[in-house]
Chains A and B, each alone.
Chain A
């Protein structure tokens, strides 16, 4: 359990800092390699999403300088970065990874994306050979825990990201989205995402208007839609039932008079404006019109977080699951170390040997020193010969993934018990086992 984790997320660092640390997908393999070449690190991987950048490593002695790695890699001064960083070790690092994978540490608790992102990061690191035994065990367990949290609690029960909240709201207004038209005003990543969600739920066609006409054409092509010149915005907009607007305009581009026009031409059929622009594109007095439903970014966030409030209870249950899973993982890790098992096995056999010699001595009476030596050599020899193969097998098994099984079998066969000490898991070689017979 020499896990170490360092990183920052949406809670610990503002967007500007996160932006500077974000690692593009294409650079991820190189970063992984670099991390693994860093002193003190046995295995290491990087998780980089828009809400978090984290480095998780299994280190040689549990005290690798991950902070230093970050400073070097991103060419940042400690004072710029350190205030935003959190660091976890051993059990806490395990808990953190479990929480991240189960989406309990997400901005929107329960959202499903993060698990996919962690899986991708894991696959990338694995592909460059940065993940082997230790991180492999940690992450396989983390994925299993995430699955358990998802199936046993309602944390991820309904859709939540802003895009899916927008779809949900659209459905509250229009019922089925079958045959509805979408208008994107101002091509941007977020509006594209929202449009994609809407199309996936059955919206019929899409219009795109952008100040730069070429970009409008580009985006329209992606959706098999129609590009509209920005000047024609007001004359065509009423054809859309759902308008996603995200222009960089300094003032509202949809004002009350536009709303009235649209409604008159649409015979008052309702329109849904998803306004993700800051400053807002839809003026508040237009949003007050009957039949115009305008949700700005704050409203959407609020809708998202009201889901979160519903989920708080479920999240508590999820935390309980994670706590028990961390305990289980820790216990497994203890049994995983083969050295203590070997030592306790030897101890165990030595106890038996001594007991048997004492018994024989009692029956045979006084032995001559030569006889003593011979008896000692004989018994030791037998034990060593018998023990040779099991110990070699245990040692080889330690390097394989089957270690747990082998160690478990040996422990059960010889009825060995582990009594872990309270001290943190340091170097593997330590005598913390006692061989007993029940």
Chain B
């Protein structure tokens, strides 16, 4: 049943995906409203799906599909919070495709892949997943915002007002969205990494944090870039090209860290 709701949600997110592509070429108030409603409905289905999964007692926190679904949901939640504050759907251009992709993979079929390692502290594991995913969602939004910032900056510099300028929010608004998500995401990411270490140390089969493990290495790298971003922004107001460069780097590191699940020795989702 949970999967069915998730597929409904996927259908709604698809509208958002189409919006993301259309919005790049033209402005339509009506369409952005439709996309917004579709996204909200998608979130309701998504929420029902997650709740049902949780209540059924079959929840497997460390399954790839479930975590992807959760990450997608958190990203959408971020998107809606931004909409409520800034009344703009433009971050959807970046958020919708990612959310759609995550939900799509999660909704493929019901074959939870389990984290192979035995974990002794379930509470810590849940905290780790929730925190790190909120951090990921914030990073995604921040990354999206920095791309939009670049786009808007280009358009303003080119001095050729096109319809796209009307679609994007003001430069400073994009900047704020990016900066606030960045600031918000950082503590989550940090705490997520700490709880992750706790899980690793307390797990009887691991018992330590192996910094040479690709998963950990990449996670720490991502966190470091994240910190550099927050610092340069806070200290000297880096934005525009330089900030976008850092955000892209952090985002790629995050992707790599995620992909590392497939070849990390200790942080593995295995089928066997």
Contact = CB atoms under 8 A, between A and B. Distances in A.
Interface of A: 169, 171-176, 264, 266-270, 290-291, 293, 295, 299, 302-303, 306
Contacts of A306: 160-161
B169 A267 contact: no
**Most chain A beta-carbon neighbours within 10 Å: one of B156, B238, B240:** B156
Contacts of B160: 302, 306
Given A293-B156, A303-B159, A306-B161, A174 B172 contact: yes
A172 B165 contact: yes
A291 B157 CA distance: 10
A393 B248 CA distance: 86
Contact of B241 (A175, A176, A266, A290): A290
5 contacts: A172-B152, A173-B171, A175-B169, A264-B236, A267-B236
A291 B169 CA distance: 17
B153 interface: yes
Contacts of B239: 268, 291
A302 B237 CA distance: 31
Interface string B166-187: 0001111100000000000000
Contact of A290 (B152, B161, B172, B240): B240
A268 B235 CA distance: 10
Contact of B161 (A176, A266, A268, A303): A303
Contacts of B238: 268
Given A295-B159, A303-B161, A175 B173 contact: yes
A268 B170 contact: no
Nearest to A267: B237
Contact of B171 (A176, A268, A270, A302): A270
A415 to B, nearest CB: 53
Contacts of B169: 175
A143 to B, nearest CB: 32
Given A175-B171, A290-B241, 14 more contacts: A169-B156, A173-B171, A175-B170, A175-B172, A264-B236, A267-B237, A268-B236, A268-B240, A269-B237, A270-B172, A290-B153, A290-B242, A299-B159, A303-B161
A306 B242 CA distance: 31
Contacts of A293: 156-157
Contacts of A291: 239-240
A173 B174 CA distance: 10
A174 B170 contact: yes
Contacts of A267: 236-237
**Most chain B beta-carbon neighbours within 10 Å: one of A171, A173, A176:** A173
Contacts of A269: 237
The 5 closest A-B pairs by CB, nearest first: A267-B237, A175-B170, A268-B237, A175-B173, A290-B240
Contact of A172 (B170, B236, B237): B170
B159 A172 contact: no
Nearest to B156: A293
A291 B156 CA distance: 10
A264 B240 CA distance: 14
B235 to A, nearest CB: 8
Contacts of A303: 159, 161
Given A270-B171, A270-B172, A172 B240 contact: no
A21 B65 CA distance: 79
A173 B169 CA distance: 9
A272 to B, nearest CB: 9
Nearest to B234: A267
A302 B161 CA distance: 9
Contacts of A268: 236-240
Nearest to A293: B156
B170 A302 contact: no
A196 B160 CA distance: 25
Nearest to A269: B237
A266 B237 contact: yes
B172 A173 contact: yes
